[in-house]
Amino acid sequence: MMQIEELKVRIKSEPSTFISYLEKLIKTNKFDDGEVLEIAILMIKYGSDKLSDEQWAIFLVNGILCDKYIDQCDSCSEQMPWSNMYSAIFINQDYLCANCRYMENKIKV
Ligand SMILES: [Zn+2]
């Protein structure tokens, strides 16, 4: 599956913002799969380089890609920054990046 490899590359190139997102997901109990949670904790502790291909696949398919990842903002189609991911999916549930949400709210007011 192509998306797994792409996502893996993205996570490895943006480790600190991804880890912040991951910590938020763990703190708010968004992982109901115990195996995925275990891998998430391993990644925070030892870094993503320590994961096997199998762990990566489980983590991405059963965890992140399940319902915790948006590729693009629904409005501007820019890549969704990790720092905006939690809010777009879980708080506002609008699938918008922070810039577009700001603009939309401005128009509404
Ligand atoms: Zn946007």
CA of residue 37 to ligand 1 center, whole Å: 29
CA of residue 30 to ligand 1 center, whole Å: 24
90 pLDDT tier (thresholds 50, 70, 90): very high
Please indicate, yes or no, whether residues 50 and 14 belong to a single structural domain of this protein.
Answer: yes
Amino acid at 43: M
| Cα–Cα distance list, 59 to 12, 26, 87, 103 (Å) | 14, 13, 21, 34
CA of residue 23 to ligand 1 center, whole Å: 24
Q: Would you call 72 helix, strand, or coil by DSSP?
A: strand
Which pLDDT score, from 0 to 100, does residue 2 have?
61
Contact predicate 66/42, CB 8 Å? no
DSSP state of 71: S
List, for residues 7-44, the tens digit of each pLDDT value: 999 999 999 999 999 999 999 999 999 999 999 999 99
Please indicate, yes or no, whether residues 37 and 55 belong to a single structural domain of this protein.
Answer: yes
Please indicate, yes or no, whether residues 83 and 62 belong to a single structural domain of this protein.
Answer: no
Please indicate, yes or no, whether residues 10 and 52 belong to a single structural domain of this protein.
Answer: yes
CA distance 53 to 64: 15
Query: CB neighbours of 25 closer than 8 A, spacing ≥ 6?
Result: 31, 40, 68, 86
Per-chain residues with Cβ under 5 A from ion ligand 1: 73, 75-76, 97, 100
Please indicate, yes or no, whether residues 57 and 88 belong to a single structural domain of this protein.
Answer: no
Please indicate, yes or no, whether residues 59 and 79 belong to a single structural domain of this protein.
Answer: no
Percent of the chain at pLDDT > 90 equals 93
Tell me the pLDDT of the chain averaged across its residues: 95
CA distance 3 to 19: 19
Which pLDDT score, from 0 to 100, does residue 3 have?
86
Across 1-109, the runs of DSSP E, i.e. the strands, are none
List, for residues 63-75, the tens digit of each pLDDT value: 999 999 999 999 9
Percent of the chain at pLDDT > 70 equals 97
Residue 92 belongs to what domain range? 71-109
Residue 39's CB: how many other CB atoms inside 10 A?
Answer: 23
Give the count of domains, the chain: 2
Please indicate, yes or no, whether residues 28 and 40 belong to a single structural domain of this protein.
Answer: yes
